[in-house]
Amino acid sequence: MFRSPATIALVLTALTAAADGKAGEPKAGAVPWSAAKDSGWKELEPGLELREEELDWKRQEADQAALVNLRIAAVRLDAKLFALRVVMNPVKDGRNLADVAKAEKAVAASNGAYFGTKDEPVTLLVSGGKALTRLNKNLPRGGVFTLDEKGRAAVVPVADFKSPRDGLDFVVQNSPLLVAGGKVIFKDPQPARHRRTAIGVDADGRTVLAVCGSAVTLDEWAAVLTSRADGGLGLTSALNLDGGPSTGLAVEHEKAKVDVPAGRIIPQVLAILRREKPLPAER
């Protein structure tokens, strides 16, 4: 999709600002958006938080300037109290994300990684310590999100990932890897605006699953994910998941409901479940 040089300049400004920002130092005014609404991180219960926000983003398309409203929802979890699981969801069953969340007694469910023409998974998925698929070495600019048995989260490039090994409780592979070391490391060669989903880790090691129900480029999305400015999610690492019509998030919690509907039935759903027993704190 076409984007004007003026818009590129705005995004570059945002990216530069994000990259230059120091941890904990919001740089208000340095980004092309302002937070029209922001719930902040609301605790639904210990170890589980929800944030919903709307960003007003200044865009320039051809000869017209416009203010676009972007809707973002994110779930932040402490993996010692909550687990991530892959739920196989046959398309013929017709269950949407909220249906899956309710059936699995999950507090939230989202779309996950890319899948193939027959809805089969095409990237590495590990759930409950069990490898469901193999690492896809042909996925360019790929990354892997992992949670180990101690609840420690990480995002690493595929090249640095050693095939499924003991000690990993959950893995999802996808591409591109957007953020590493608190900086945007991806520049989209052919930007197009779509709905987006990402999974990442914040400065305190907590896992964040975020969706943008509005259409943004990957560059714009990476800027929001990493920025510490008003409305940014402040992730230090983040992996892009499947987007477009796949993007979806359902939060099914006694204290909050969120429904960002996916445009299709998602064949492999990421579900957030309470752990029966919290993982022990590390010494």
Partner 1 sequence: MNSRQRVEAALNHHRPDRVPLDLGATPVSGMQVSSVYALRQALGLDRPGTPVKVVEPYQMLGEIAPDLAARLGVDTVNLPGRTNMFGFANEGWKPWRTFDGTPVLVPAGFNTEPDASGDILMYPAGDRSAPASGRMPKGGFYFDSIVRQPPVDEDRLDPRDNLEDFAPLSDLDLAHCERESRRLRDESDRAIVGSVPGTAFGDIALVPGPWMRRPKGIRDVEEWYVSLAARPDYIRAVFEGQCAIALRNLEAYRQAVGDRISVIFMCGTDLGTQNGPFMSAETYRELHKPFHKRLNDWVHAHTKWKTFKHSCGSILPLIPELVEAGFDILNPVQCSAAGMDAAELKRRFGAEVTFWGGGVDTQRTLPFGRPEEVRAQVRERIATFGPGGGFVFNPIHNVQAGTPVANLLAMYETVRES
Binding site for partner 1 (CB under 8 A): 1-2, 59, 61-64, 66, 68-69, 91, 117-119, 190, 192-195, 213-215, 244-246, 261-264
Q: Which two tokens stand for residue 129?
A: 């310590």
Give the CA-trace dihedral at 24, 28, 31, 35, to 10 degrees: 100
Q: Which is nearer to partner 1, 117 or 163 (CB)?
A: 117
Q: Which is nearer to partner 1, 59 or 228 (CB)?
A: 59
Taking the complex as a whole, the smallest distance from the CB of residue 111 to partner 1 amounts, in Å, to 11
| Cβ neighbours for 253, distance < 8 A, ≥ 6 positions apart | 44, 45, 48, 50, 107, 108
Rounded to a whole number of angstroms, the minimum distance from the CB of residue 144 to partner 1 is 23
Residue nearer to partner 1 on the CB measure, 9 or 91: 91
CB of 231 vs partner 1, minimal distance in Å = 18
Distance between CA atoms of residues 178 and 141, nearest Å? 9
Identity of the residue, 167 or 263, whose beta carbon is nearer to partner 1 in the bound complex: 263
Q: Minimum distance from CB of 92 to partner 1 (Å)?
A: 11
- Considering beta carbons, is residue 192 or 203 the nearer one to partner 1? 192
Q: How far is the CB of 61 from partner 1 (least distance, A)?
A: 5
Q: How far apart are CA 138 and CA 194, in angstroms?
A: 23
